[in-house]
């Protein structure tokens, strides 16, 4: 039996992408895997022994996540473990004939879009639908760059881009609509200039604002389709819920390292994001794209597919990813189209929905971002405070929970490397009589590490490096003679 391990899980499975194992049922295969890779139990199962809700198990292209399917015979089939980070038959366009007939193509547009007009499936009617359409793109980063670029090139009539961030130097590796002259500018301003340089007839709207429960409805109402190019779970579920409640289709995209996914949610009574992943991973359990990195072309691949699905929705042509999820592994040249079933028990789009308004749902708590009032707060050192303790040679144990490729870029002197999944069984390596400081890239996974050890019963003093290794880049140590 061959088991394919998604890249976000591979550190718990000896960094293997594929594992040959024995067993004729999912239960037997899972038992074999967790016996061979004990660290995998923490990522796959919660403290009650239940499969975590952000993990899906596919056999071929069929979802077999439900426990009652774990005992059927599956000899010779491939199993896919797919954590959180839709094809169908042709349908009517989301742009009505009335709206299509209200727009016209002038001579310059006929010339500009000539290659579209030659395609039988698009022709004049399809191009006029593109011109009549109104699209919202959430995120002007890596995925958003490809989506914005190709939707603008295709001639989308109205485009709104929502992003609260500014352009930084590290963005330029993969966020191709921004350039060096855009550094420190709002991403939406850079996107606006890019679109205007490409096609001034496009109505461009920009919002340099963070989507929240109290403003997202106004951002998307009266638009035809929403494209999710964001990079955090809170915003993803917020977008999903707003689209479902307002009846707007959503084109979803996500990337991590070499892997990406595309799907369509909230279309024609189809599934929503919560049907696929009822809940996101606990905070810090799965690294984000920002923490785990991504190869430069990957967002271009995934974003281009998102733009392609958006245009097919607008024109009503081809097969679309409604009720399916396209998964691509660019490193191992592997792709799969997986079925996504509508969950009749879904709290948002099921038979008896519990979520009926955006404002009433606590996204901070749902995505694990809200502090538990009963949880002991995690103390921490600033980069300056930690540097001073190191310079004074105070007794410290520094634990680095980052990925191997992150440590290769930026090392921390004399740190002990312990992945989060190994902390519980290796806590005897820590000295409870001295301070232990946990470090990661941004100071988030290190908080999870501290809480993991607390739950395991470790009593020694533990501290988080505030802001992570990113906040300590400019610290100079006298004995190093250089930056950290």
**Dihedrals phi, psi of 233, to nearest 5 degrees:** -70, -40
* Residue corresponding to tokens 């301003």: 189
**Dihedrals phi, psi of 131, to nearest 5 degrees:** -65, -30
Which position among 229, 275, 367, 440 bears the catalytic label?
440
243 among known catalytic residues: no
Q: Name the 3-class secondary structure at 149.
A: helix
Neighbouring CB atoms inside 10 A of 10's CB total 15
Q: Between the CA atoms of 174, 179, 180 and 183, what dihedral angle is there, to the nearest 10 degrees?
A: -90
Q: What does the block give as tokens for 350?
A: 């099921």
Q: Name the 3-class secondary structure at 5.
A: strand
CA-based nearest residue to 88, from 248, 276, 261, 325: 325
Which position among 243, 272, 289, 367 bears the catalytic label?
289
Question: Checking DSSP bridges between strand 225-228 and strand 396-400, what pairing results, if any?
Answer: unpaired
Rounded CA-CA distance 252/239 in Å is 10
**Dihedrals phi, psi of 106, to nearest 5 degrees:** -85, 180
Q: What does the block give as tokens for 226?
A: 């929403």
Q: What is the DSSP secondary structure assignment for residue 483, as one 8-state letter?
A: B
Rounded CA-CA distance 471/445 in Å is 14
Q: What does the block give as tokens for 6?
A: 């998604």
User: Mind giving me the DSSP string for 206-261?
Assistant: EE-S---TTTHHHHHTT-SEEEE---SHHHHHHHHHHHHHHT--EEEEEEEBTEEE
Q: Between the CA atoms of 36, 38, 41 and 42, what dihedral angle is there, to the nearest 10 degrees?
A: -150
Question: Which sign, positive or negative, has the C-alpha torsion 23, 341, 47, 232?
Answer: positive
Q: What is the DSSP secondary structure assignment for residue 280, as one 8-state letter?
A: P
Rounded CA-CA distance 477/445 in Å is 25
Rounded CA-CA distance 298/277 in Å is 23
440 among known catalytic residues: yes
Q: Residues with catalytic annotation? A: 289, 440
């Amino acid at each position: 039996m061959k088991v394919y391990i998604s890249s976000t899980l591979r550190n718990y499975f000896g960094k293997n992408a594929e594992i040959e194992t024995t067993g004729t049922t999912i239960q037997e295969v899972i038992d074999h895997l967790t016996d061979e890779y004990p660290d995998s139990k923490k990522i796959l199962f919660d403290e009650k022994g239940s499969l975590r809700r952000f993990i899906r198990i596919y056999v071929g292209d069929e979802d077999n996540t439900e426990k009652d399917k774990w005992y059927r015979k599956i000899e010779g089939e491939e199993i896919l473990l797919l954590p959180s980070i839709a094809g169908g038959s042709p349908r009517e366009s989301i742009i009505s004939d009335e709206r299509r007939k209200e727009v016209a193509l002038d001579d310059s547009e006929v010339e500009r879009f000539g290659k579209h007009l030659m395609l039988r499936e698009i022709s004049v009617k399809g191009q006029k639908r593109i011109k009549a359409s109104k699209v919202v793109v959430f995120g002007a980063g890596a995925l958003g760059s490809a989506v914005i670029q190709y939707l603008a090139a295709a001639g989308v009539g109205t485009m709104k881009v929502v992003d609260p961030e500014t352009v930084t130097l590290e963005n330029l590796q993969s966020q191709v609509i921004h350039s060096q002259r855009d550094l420190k500018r709002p991403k939406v301003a850079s996107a606006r200039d890019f679109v205007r340089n490409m096609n001034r007839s496009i109505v461009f709207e920009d919002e340099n604002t963070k989507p929240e429960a109290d403003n997202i409805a106004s951002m998307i109402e009266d638009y035809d389709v929403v494209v999710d190019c964001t990079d955090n779970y809170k915003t993803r579920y917020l977008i999903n819920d707003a689209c479902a409640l307002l009846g707007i289709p959503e084109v979803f995209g996500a990337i991590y390292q070499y892997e990406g996914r595309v799907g369509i949610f909230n279309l024609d009574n189809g599934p929503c994001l919560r049907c696929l992943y009822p809940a996101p991973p606990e905070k810090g359990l799965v690294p984000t794209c920002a923490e785990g990195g991504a190869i430069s072309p990957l967002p271009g691949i995934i974003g281009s597919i998102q733009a392609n699905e958006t245009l097919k929705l607008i024109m009503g042509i081809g097969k679309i990813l409604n009720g399916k999820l396209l998964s691509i592994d660019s490193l191992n040249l592997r792709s799969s189209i997986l079925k996504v079933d509508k969950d009749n028990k879904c709290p948002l789009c099921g038979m008896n929905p519990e979520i009926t308004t955006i404002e009433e749902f606590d996204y901070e708590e749902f995505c694990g971002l809200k502090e538990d009032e009963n949880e002991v707060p995690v103390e921490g050192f600033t980069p300056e405070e930690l540097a001073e303790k190191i310079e004074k040679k105070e007794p410290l144990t520094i634990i680095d929970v980052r990925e191997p490729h992150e440590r290769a870029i930026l090392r921390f002197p004399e740190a002990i490397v312990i992945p989060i999944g190994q902390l519980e069984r290796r806590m005897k390596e820590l000295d409870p009589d001295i301070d232990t400081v946990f470090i990661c890239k941004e100071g988030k996974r290190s908080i999870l590490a501290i809480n993991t050890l607390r739950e395991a019963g470790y009593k020694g003093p533990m501290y988080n490096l505030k802001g992570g290794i990113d906040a300590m880049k400019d610290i100079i140590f006298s004995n190093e003679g250089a930056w950290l």
